[in-house]
Structure 1
Amino acid sequence: MRDQDHIQPGGTRVAPNPGAAPAEGPRRRRRRATAARPLRPVRRFAGVLAGVAVFGLAATLAIAPDGPPTDAALIAAASSTGHGGDRVQQVSVGGEAATPAVSTDSYTASTGPETLIAGGTNHDWAKLVLVDGAFPVTEANVTVILRWMRQENGVDNWWNRNNPLNNGNGSGGGSGLGSYDTLATGAYYAADSLRRYSFYDAIEAALEAGDSADATAAAIWASPWAGSHYGNGTHWSTRPVEAIEAPASAWGR
């Protein structure tokens, strides 16, 4: 018989090799196959890992908590507990149930000049002096101004010449014997004197503190403008001062 050419991969013909061993080709193929065998366990292991991952994801989704119920689910749940055609839950309150009271507390601004003028009493005038002078309107400050007014003009006629503290500043009269057109004007000038003149400094400081009528009274007694110094307090009454309203004309009304 005639020898045939061998064909290598790719279609190339080569001459036969009579000296080559017949089993050479198959042995090479077996070696390649043997060298490839170790890859099979790795592929199997990778497959196992992939299976475990899929199982873990499925288990996680299975135990994940449900999201919040939708409005439709809530309505369906409420409807399932109803009876007959009325499926809406109702709550009734007995007639004896008490209605909670509504608080009507409110906060008001500090008393203004117009309110004090409308009040018209000696207490209102004392407060008006403090407001005009930007002093704190405290109980101690109102008390000492009222006592001071009583020492100057008495209580029954405290609005005399619309000048309760016998102030010479702006009144047109010496020794504090001048007058003002209204009590409101007299309050303004009394506050102006306390703030303007240095011989009132100790009184001004005591009114700024606003916590002791006695301390302010002592400053009044010691002031250089007070010739008699009110007997250093012996001519100074501390009894309560009653509220007395001045005539409307004294307030310019």
Structure 2
Amino acid sequence: MRHADRPAGRRATRHGVAASVAPARMARRVAPLAAAMAVLSLGLTLALAPQPAAVTAPTAAGGTHAGATQTVNVAPDVAAPAVSQESYTATTGAQTLIESGTNADWAQLVLIYGDWPVTDENVTVMLQWMREENGPDNWWNRNNPLNNGHGSGGGSGLGSYDSLDTAAWYAADNLLKRSFYTDIVAALERGTSAHAVAQAIWASPWASSHYGNGAWWSTAPVPIIEAPASAW
């Protein structure tokens, strides 16, 4: 015998199950959407977060240097180092000239030993003087390029030295210690005019001919020629 309340009980049961299943289905549908929203929120948070400041470091040169990956800022009281511009005399020593070994090197060696400026004008007149005494092709003759009698054992200038280095020292020493060469020394100290030095040489007793008072003195360029290593 069927009871009249069974269908109603089953319907009530189904209704109760359906009522409990609906929120679960809804939760399963909403869960992926909530996860996506969380990821999007995290991305927006990172995008809006302040970025770290550029690395800054001082430099010796001062100012600001903009590079591909960083910007360098320097305090305004940092001074740039001075640039050293040394003269030829300060950077070229006797040994360097001896190793090079040309007539131009010997001319510079005399200037260094005399403590005169190694200028183009001074080197030019020294080369001209050497040519007048021995000629450029054999300028190292007797290791005495200027035919200097001082310390060479030949008062007439036909003596010789043990090396071109020694000869350069005696050439400078002779000019410095003789009063009748003071005009040559003064012109070399100025170092601004090869002609002024040449005029002082002509007027001095270095050569008895006085180089024809300049008539026999050539100002043509002097070829640069290296002496044998044995001469140094």
Which letter does structure 2 place at the counterpart of 1:237? S
Aligned to 2:130: 149
In the TM superposition, residue 225 of structure 1 has moved relative to its aligned partner by 3.6
Three-state SS of the structure 2 residue aligned to 1:244 is coil
Provide structure 2 residue ranges, at least 5 long, that are not aligned to the other structure.
Answer: 1-43, 55-66, 70-82
Give the Cα separation in 1 of the matches to 2:106 and 2:45.
73
Q: TM-score, normalised by structure 1?
A: 0.59
Q: Percent identity?
A: 65
Residues 1:192 and 2:173 are matched in the alignment? yes
1:133 aligns with 2:114: yes
Q: Deviations over 1:64-117 (max 9, x none)?
A: xxxxxxxxxxxxxxxxx97259753487x879xxxxxxxxx8645331111111
- Runs of 4+ aligned structure 1 residues displaced above 4 Å come to 84-87, 105-108
Distance in 1 between the 2:211 and 2:144 partners? 19
Q: What is the root-mean-square deviation in Å for CA atoms of aligned residues?
A: 2.3
1:180 paired with 2:180, answer no
Bigger Rg over Cα: 1
Residues 94 and 156 from structure 1, CA distance in 2 versus in 1: closer, same or farther, beyond 3 angstroms?
Answer: same
Match of 1:83 among 28, 46, 49: 46
Task: Give 2:101's match in structure 1, choosing from 98, 120, 124.
Answer: 120
Q: What does 1:55-94 correspond to in 2, within 5 Å?
A: 83=46, 87-89=50-52
1:164 to 145, 153, 165: 145
How has the CA–CA distance of structure 1 residues 90 and 250 changed in structure 2, closer, same or farther, with 3 Å as cutoff? same
Q: Write the deviation string for residues 167-222 of structure 1: whole angstroms up to 9, x where unpaired.
A: 00000112100000010000000000010111111111111111110011011111
Kept in 2: contact 1:82–1:89 (CA 8 A)? no
Does the 8 Å contact 1:138/1:211 carry over to 2? yes
Count of matched residue positions in the alignment of Structure 1 and Structure 2? 161
- 1:243 paired with 2:232, answer no
TM-score relative to the length of structure 2: 0.64
Shift of 1:119: 1.1
